[in-house]
Amino acid sequence: MIRLLFRLIPRRLILLLILLAIVAVAVRYTAQRLAAEQHQAPAPTETPRPRQPVTQNSPPDWEHTDPDFEARYAIPNSRPPAPLVPWTARQVLISVAAIAFVFMVVLGSVIGLVEVVDVSGWGEHVVLLGAAFVLQGVMLLSVWHFAVRPAGGRWALLGFRRIKPISTTLIVITGITICQVLVVGYVQVVNWLDIDPLVPGDPFESWDIDPISFTIIAVSAVVVAPLFEEIFFRGFMYQAFRKTMSLWPAAILTSLIFGVAHIDPAIIIPIALVGMILLGIYRWTGNLWSSIITHAGYNAIAVIALAVQTWGG
């Protein structure tokens, strides 16, 4: 009977069900671990030991002679505390709502402009990328209003710190490699499973690429997008979510919103995976520049592939 069922059910559907089962078990296990950590009983308090009178021959009482002894030699907690930032998750959600509203207004304006004015050729690309710049400007404005301005103009709270060239280079190369492996593996899996709606397409397939359009795309993808998106999603959004959530819920929610922000349903999952890697780099190094450079390098590979596809023969 079991063999008959395996013959009737497609192998790809069986594999998909197995993968979903593994994901469900992993999510349940993670949720149980997080719940157990959050509901751990507090350590019993100790009754303070009465202070003994100090004599000439008595050993020194380190507990009282050095008030910083415990703080200096304490063993750090296994899980680092949530970042202490002045902005909140509510302010992040307000920013997301404002960006969504501006997106609808910009989208309607672009559609109306294209219908009224002839912007064929590279002019159409300028209009579309200009609209993207407007949205990214709103993102940066939100970060400035809710995070940087209340902190007295300090961008360091977002994670801007001095980088170490050698270690940063190694981290960036490793991060780009992992991102490429994850995305290529995802594409291979959905292609093998014949899930067409989840197969990412070529976003520039219908574009007539010329040198001007290519320059605009390259600047947007390699410079503007990594800087603005890392500031908003990793530096601003994740830190706010981390104040009210544990590590994994905050990381998963931030990465999913990062994937949804790229509009195309077919790339939500791979972009979310890339977002998880970028977030891991940011959290590991504590430096936003590391994730920005990794993001820029990952996009640069796509830009180079576009150039080869367009002019490589």
Largest CA distance in the chain: 95
Tokens 């709502």 sit at which residue? 97
Phi, psi of 264 (to 5 degrees): -65, 120
CA distance 69 to 65: 9
Residues 188-205 have pLDDT tens digits of 898 888 888 888 776 666
The alpha-helical segments, DSSP class H, found in 160-267 are 165-192, 211-219, 225-229, 239-244, 247-260
pLDDT tier at 257, thresholds 50, 70, 90: very high
**pTM for the model:** 0.72
The encoded tokens of residue 304 equal: 């180079």
Per-residue pLDDT at 224: 92
Phi, psi of 262 (to 5 degrees): -90, 10
Half-sphere exposure of 115 (CA within 13 A, CB side): 6
DSSP classification of residue 175: H
Instruction: Report the 10 Å Cβ neighbour count for 206.
Output: 7
Terminal-residue alpha carbon distance, the chain: 55
Residues 115-155 have pLDDT tens digits of 666 655 556 666 777 778 888 899 999 999 999 998 888 89
CA distance 84 to 91: 15
Q: How many helices (H) and strands (E) does the chain have?
A: 13, 0
Percent of the chain with pLDDT over 70: 66
- What type of residue sits at position 253? L
Domain segments of the chain as ranges: 89-311
Residue 1 has pLDDT above 60, yes or no: no
